[in-house]
Structure 1
Amino acid sequence: MESTEVVRRYWSSVWSRNWAAVGQTLAEDVTVFWPVTREIIRGRDNMVAVNSERRNGWSIDVLEVYDAGEVVVSEVQVPQEDVGIFRVVSIWTVSGGVITSGREYWTLYGGEEGLDWRRKYTSVGDLPS
């Protein structure tokens, strides 16, 4: 299976809350780092638990999946009731048909305002996905 398909299957399985299928996309010793909070998730069971124990009221829209060989970059949108929309950029390493490591940048979409000094160079809006 191509690396991009492994990542697409991961996101599809998370969205459908098929936790056994999520586990099948992950190496037993997978390590995922979330730099924004400095959390490190070690092991398949912990990664499945982090996803499965997230409170309900969310969905996942896969915006892009980029293939770079064993490295796959995905961008997803995660609308969550009463919170807002998260955007997640993930850099996955895929080997042997499973995700072996990842780095995920979770941020609240539009959660920060641009700096005043940049306003003369920028505008605020949404680009089509």
Structure 2
Amino acid sequence: MQNELIAQGYITSLIDVPSQSLEHGILRFTLHYGKVGAIDYADGSDTTRLWNSLPTSSGTILRLSDLEQGMANLQRLPGATAHMKLLPGQHEGESDIQIARSGEKMAAWRGDDAGSKASGRYRPAGPSISMT
């Protein structure tokens, strides 16, 4: 059963067999969901867009698919890299998420061919700066 939990993405959840009497032929299990503790950036990381990068928050059940989606969100811009660590949380059953993110500052000048014969066919559309 524990392996099935992990396969479903509940990587920090646990199935426990509490002490009990089996005289009635019933075996009970207890499911303890792993929860998200604190979500923080590692020292020196770029801290932009943390609040909307992860589809989870403190206190919710920790699922692998949420972590994978968060990593994809953090790395979606060219030149951005991110690493994630799960650390023991402050409370039992919690895991803290620590994110290390860095990215290159990128700049580009854009242009288009929407000009006229009088003003010139090609015209600059202005600078584009991306801070990843």
Mark yes or no: TM-score above 0.5: no
Output the TM-score relative to the length of structure 2.
Answer: 0.31
Structure of higher CA gyration radius? 2
Higher relative contact order (CA 8 A, sep 6+): 1
Output the TM-score relative to the length of structure 1.
Answer: 0.31
